[in-house]
Structure 1
Amino acid sequence: MKKPCTVLIIFIMMFGVIIKTGCSDRKYISSRSSSQKITIGFSIDNLQQERWYIDKDTFVKEAEKLDADVIVNVAYNNADTQISQVKDMVAKGIDVLVIIPYDCRKAAVAVNYAKKNGVKVIAYDRLVLNADVDLYASFDNEKVGTLQANAMIKAVSKGNYVIINGPSTDYNTVMINKGIMDVLNKYIKAGQIKIVKQIVTKDWSADEASDSIAKLLKDDTHIDAIIAENDTLAAGAIDALAEYHLISSVPVVGMDADIAACQRVVEEQQLMTVYKPISKLATAAADVAVKLAKNEKITFSEKINDGKYDVPYLKIEPLAVDKENMYSTVIKDGFHTVEEVYMNVPKSQWPEDKNK
């Protein structure tokens, strides 16, 4: 008679996630010796956005705490380069590949190559389609869109909306847009809201976002609200609005809570942003990567379909951030300091530190 598995559930308070080790549907076989040091390959698509530096540094720091080495490669927005770099890391003997895919479809080539060579794979922040990764570690991206749309509806319940999406190569844009439209559809059907333009940008380009909004304004398109899928796109939109002296008239929302966006929020140039606690994601992903390398069986209660397979999903909740809760979220978490966020605001208007 087969002995039943015992599942150990570890609740890690500082992560805000539940990791279960013990039983799993996935069985891992590795030829590595228990005495060998674990090596993780971290493949990053680019370092253009501020947040990726935080992801990288936090992940590496946590992995090193767990006595693992990390090889970091940056593909600089090139799918072929990313595939080549992954193959090189596999040749160097990595135990686990953690990949932020530039192209959600082409990255499957890199994932399949790694898996065929006995390397476990974590898709980090962005899903790789049709690849059956060992884990997808990310935020609830549909909720990101829901938070953005709800905030905008509260500010502008009627009028012309523009949605600025990220690139088609990033599947997060699909999920964020779904969250947005799930909220807006009933207002569209009621005739309260009209989507005058859905813009798709390449590589999350602020310049493309700015040029697209400027063109609409030049063509006398009336815009009441702009939902930008991240803060880089929001910055581009706000630059265009500034040229037409419309910053105070057209609310803009974004995502990532980068420092410039947080400054715009408290200065009332941007309505809100969505804060994704990156340290939780990076720390949890590093912890799971080491467990995978050690062949510890891991299962998660959530799954997500990658187009072909249902893959385990480590999901972390995002938070809506506006001027009112900036201190209790982004600043309290240590993501940014009060001095950084409020540097352009008179000190008499800074929020009080309730811990003093």
Structure 2
Amino acid sequence: MKKVQLRAAALAVSALVAVSSLAACSSDGDAGSGGGGGAKVAFLMPDLASTRYELQDKPLFEAKMKELCPDCKVIYQNADSDAAKQQQQADSALAQGAKVIVLDPVDSAAAASIVKTAQSQDAAVIAYDRPIPDAAADYYVSFDNEKIGSLIAESLVTHLKETKAEGGILQVNGSPTDAAAGLIKKGIHSAVDPSGFKLLAEFDTPDWDPAKAQNWVSGQVAQFGDEIAGVVAANDGTGGGSIAAFKAAGKPVPPITGNDAEVAAAQRIISGDQYNTISKPIKIVAEASAVIAHAFVKGEKPAGKTTLYDTPSELFVPTVVTRENVKEVLFDSGIMKAADVCTAEYAKPCAELGIK
């Protein structure tokens, strides 16, 4: 527990320092005084399957932009897993005069055309959460997706070894059109492949759709049954779908991973249904992206801390959350409120963990 606490504290401090540094670099006297001259900034999100975009990313980004540039206008759109629709939304934002597009792509390959079109019209593109490998955006802000994959898988493998579990692992990846999902997949393999546990099967989940993940896992449960020692699912949606598959089959739920620290995932971890998730506070990437967007609005060209796909980048490091540290990481930190998570169904396990 002590190592988890120290790591969580260190990561939190690092993330806050990084965001503060970005703010300092882009605040040459007018960051909070309307610098931007009424510029328009598009914030284009990829889907509705993950609840985070409507509930967290959008309001957090808009709030930070309002703080930095009260006279700037945010154009928000969600493509609902439709790459063609996202292209239309980007074209519309450019037609409305957007000077910066913050883009979380539905399809990382298709998004290259959005980057090229925007840059041809002197608009900057910030790749958000998911990279765009086929065209260099002007900046990329995200948590380290490959690290996310390795962390959730390492956590699961360690747990399986400690509990002397027998059998193999299922791997439920994210969308095949999402480059971030590819990085997470790579990270998962880096931990699973040398683990000594057999990889029974893996699946790339179209559109990150929990129902499609559930359907696939249901088939694997029918095929492998009690041979399944654990499931590495790439996010909380696919993790939730995996859990539902075991319950529908009347089978005990093995340790199953997740990523995103959604409220439903926190509830499943507290109740013991889900083994882990990843805490990557959306506030960090949303606010960092707003700072970078404001810098571009002012005509600056922010330098990245690293480079990925020939793009200046800022990659934050996430934290693994299990039942052991969920109180500390998600509740003591203020990321979540007990009132939102510890509803009647979860009141007893919350009380057992001292969450109130």
Q: Which one-letter code corresponds to 1:106 in the other structure? A: A
In 2, Cα distance between equivalents of 1:35 and 1:204: 36
In 1, Cα distance between equivalents of 2:15 and 2:280: 18
Q: Which of 119, 122, 129 is matched with 2:123 structurally?
A: 119
Q: Which one-letter code corresponds to 2:98 in the other structure? A: I
Q: Map Cα deviations across residues 242-276 of structure 1 (whole Å, 9 max, x no partner).
A: 1233344x110110111111001011111111111
Q: Does residue 38 of structure 1 match 2:39?
A: yes
> How far did residue 135 of structure 1 move?
0.5
Aligned counterpart, 2:172: 164
Alpha-carbon contact 1:304-1:313 (below 8 Å) kept: yes
Structure-to-structure mapping, 1:12-23, within 5 angstroms? 13=16, 16=19, 18-19=21-22, 21=25
Alpha-carbon contact 1:342-1:350 (below 8 Å) kept: no
> How far did residue 193 of structure 1 move?
1.1
Show structure 1 runs of 4+ deviating over 6 A.
none
Instruction: State the SS of the aligned residue for 2:127.
Output: strand
| Aligned CA distance change for structure 1 residues 340 and 132 (closer, same or farther; 3 Å) | same
> How far did residue 96 of structure 1 move?
0.5
Aligned counterpart, 1:225: 230
Q: Which one-letter code corresponds to 1:253 in the other structure? A: T
In 1, Cα distance between equivalents of 2:16 and 2:129: 21
In 1, Cα distance between equivalents of 2:203 and 2:238: 10
Structure-to-structure mapping, 1:55-134, within 5 angstroms? 55-66=57-68, 67=70, 68-134=72-138
In 2, Cα distance between equivalents of 1:122 and 1:317: 19
Structure-to-structure mapping, 1:125-164, within 5 angstroms? 125-157=129-161, 158-164=166-172
Which structure has more helix as a fraction of its residues? 2
Aligned counterpart, 1:329: 329
Q: RMSD of the TM alignment (CA)? A: 2.0
Aligned counterpart, 1:213: 217
Q: Which of 186, 198, 210 is matched with 2:194 structurally?
A: 186
| Aligned CA distance change for structure 1 residues 288 and 166 (closer, same or farther; 3 Å) | same
> How far did residue 233 of structure 1 move?
0.4
Aligned counterpart, 2:48: 47
Q: Does residue 239 of structure 1 match 2:244?
A: yes
Q: Does residue 275 of structure 1 match 2:276?
A: no
Instruction: State the SS of the aligned residue for 1:156.
Output: helix
Alpha-carbon contact 2:49-2:208 (below 8 Å) kept: no
Q: Does residue 299 of structure 1 match 2:281?
A: no
Aligned counterpart, 2:29: none
Aligned counterpart, 1:8: none
Q: Which one-letter code corresponds to 1:177 in the other structure? A: K
Alpha-carbon contact 1:247-1:269 (below 8 Å) kept: no
In 1, Cα distance between equivalents of 2:244 and 2:113: 38
> How far did residue 297 of structure 1 move?
3.1
In 2, Cα distance between equivalents of 1:245 and 1:278: 35
Alpha-carbon contact 2:307-2:313 (below 8 Å) kept: yes
In 1, Cα distance between equivalents of 2:278 and 2:219: 27
In 1, Cα distance between equivalents of 2:19 and 2:101: 23
In 2, Cα distance between equivalents of 1:193 and 1:35: 54
In 1, Cα distance between equivalents of 2:351 and 2:15: 38
In 1, Cα distance between equivalents of 2:307 and 2:36: 33
In 2, Cα distance between equivalents of 1:132 and 1:97: 14
Alpha-carbon contact 2:48-2:81 (below 8 Å) kept: no
Range 320-329 or range 226-235, more displaced: 320-329
Range 219-228 or range 160-169, more displaced: 219-228
> How far did residue 134 of structure 1 move?
0.7
> How far did residue 348 of structure 1 move?
4.1
Alpha-carbon contact 2:45-2:78 (below 8 Å) kept: yes
Structure-to-structure mapping, 1:255-270, within 5 angstroms? 255-270=259-274
Q: Which of 338, 351, 354 is matched with 2:354 structurally?
A: 351
In 2, Cα distance between equivalents of 1:195 and 1:167: 19
TM-score by length of 1: 0.86
Q: Map Cα deviations across residues 201-233 of structure 1 (whole Å, 9 max, x no partner).
A: 111111111111111122244211100000000
> How far did residue 296 of structure 1 move?
1.9
In 2, Cα distance between equivalents of 1:311 and 1:39: 23
Alpha-carbon contact 1:226-1:251 (below 8 Å) kept: yes
Q: Which one-letter code corresponds to 1:170 in the other structure? A: D
Instruction: State the SS of the aligned residue for 2:89.
Output: helix
In 1, Cα distance between equivalents of 2:220 and 2:317: 34
| Aligned CA distance change for structure 1 residues 85 and 184 (closer, same or farther; 3 Å) | same
Instruction: State the SS of the aligned residue for 2:313.
Output: strand
Gaps of 5+ in 2: 1-13, 27-34
> How far did residue 14 of structure 1 move?
6.4
In 1, Cα distance between equivalents of 2:184 and 2:118: 29
Q: Map Cα deviations across residues 297-318 of structure 1 (whole Å, 9 max, x no partner).
A: 311221112xxxx111111111
| Aligned CA distance change for structure 1 residues 177 and 209 (closer, same or farther; 3 Å) | same
In 2, Cα distance between equivalents of 1:348 and 1:57: 30
Alpha-carbon contact 2:130-2:142 (below 8 Å) kept: yes
> How far did residue 352 of structure 1 move?
5.9
> How far did residue 341 of structure 1 move?
2.8
